[in-house]
Amino acid sequence: MELAIEQAKLAQKNDEVPIGAVIVSGSNVVSSAHNISNDPTAHAEMLAIKQACELLSTSTLCDAEMYVTLEPCPMCAQAISFARIKRLYFGAYNPKGGGIENGAKIFQFCSHIPEVYGGILETECSFLLKDFFEKLRRCLENI
């Protein structure tokens, strides 16, 4: 999860929502990514899955585990299922936009459901998001 947090900090340095994702297979980091701008589908999870599949020349990641700093949204949850990721670890819960424990609860409707572990380093992951949005609100108030 520490590597996902590092990715989230890279996003924050680029004035992006600080969300990071890492895919691991065995003891090897296969891919890592963070949110990028100008593309509503360029979530950290989507980018990490795409990168891992390209690197491994496969469309499934059956032996892989994903670490992400925020509970994935419904779009990312579905992609995680399609990629057949074995385990998902996420940091902060996402009551407004989550797709696993909150919101749409996508895995109820999927043929592949990964093992899910939420709240990993939740305090650190939540702080990054709260700090980012507080700074953004202050900036917008000064416009």
List the catalytic residues: 45
Enclosing H/E stretch for 68: strand 64-70
Which strand ranges, in their side-by-side order, compose the sheet holding 64-70?
28-34, 20-25, 64-70, 87-92, 115-117
Which amino acid makes up residue 5?
Answer: I
Q: Exposed, middle or buried: residue 45 (CB in 10 Å: 0-12, 13-18, 19+)?
A: buried
